[in-house]
Amino acid sequence: MKYYEALEIYNDICKKVIESPEEWMQFLDASQGIYKYSFKEQLMIAAQRPDATAVADIAFWNKKMGRYVKKNSTGIAVFTEKTDSNQKLRYVYDRSDTELSWYGGHEVHPWQVEKTEDYAMIADAIVNATGIEVPNESAIEDVFYYVTAATVSDQEDVDELVDSTALKGSELSKKEKTIKAAA
């Protein structure tokens, strides 16, 4: 995948998740097992593989989990977290792309919240961590929606990515600036 293709996927998923609470919930369903990744990475993973349940780079699967990535598996492109202008893509793989190696390895058990009573505690933790204001007594899906809408509408990370590439000043860049102004 080319960098500009990944950027287009990112822009599309950013717009999609703030369209409605239903779209947001679909994103949450897709990202529930990938909580250790940044929001930007979660968006990219959900856009490319909404069925992903546990993702990691190939080195983690091989060395830490004793699993190998199956031949012909397609990686999930995510942006590197570099702060310089040399942005690149790296690839992660879902657990469904892996198998236990012949000498053994570890089974993968994705994290899950099983009790709905824990939702209020999780929602409070998110509100406290982000500092984003939400109406009192909001349901957890509403808290997630407000946090996402605030994060995506800022679009600072998208602007940085576009401005650090050959896309600066392009039609895609102009389109992004229009979306930001409308948010």
Give domain limits for the chain. 3-182
User: Across residues 50-59, what is the average pLDDT?
Assistant: 92
Report how far residue 56's alpha carbon sits from residue 74's, in angstroms, rounded to the nearest whole number: 13
- Using CA atoms, how far apart are residues 47 and 14, in angstroms rounded to an integer? 9
**Which single residue is written with the structure tokens 């012909």?**
72
Adjacent-strand bridge partners of 144: none
Question: Cα separation of 105 and 103, whole Å?
Answer: 7
What is the pLDDT at residue 22?
85
CA distance 97 to 118: 31
Q: What is the pLDDT of residue 32?
A: 79
Pairing mode of beta strands 67-69, 98-100 = antiparallel
Q: Residue 172: its pLDDT value, please? A: 45
Mean pLDDT value of segment 45-49: 94
Least confident of 9-13, 67-71, 169-173: 169-173
Summarised one tens digit per residue, pLDDT across range 116-138 is 777 777 778 877 887 877 877 66
More confident residue, 38 or 151: 38
Instruction: Give the closest residue to 181 by CA, choosing from 161, 148, 163, 155.
Output: 155
Greater confidence, 43 or 141?
43
Q: Which two tokens stand for residue 99?
A: 């198998």
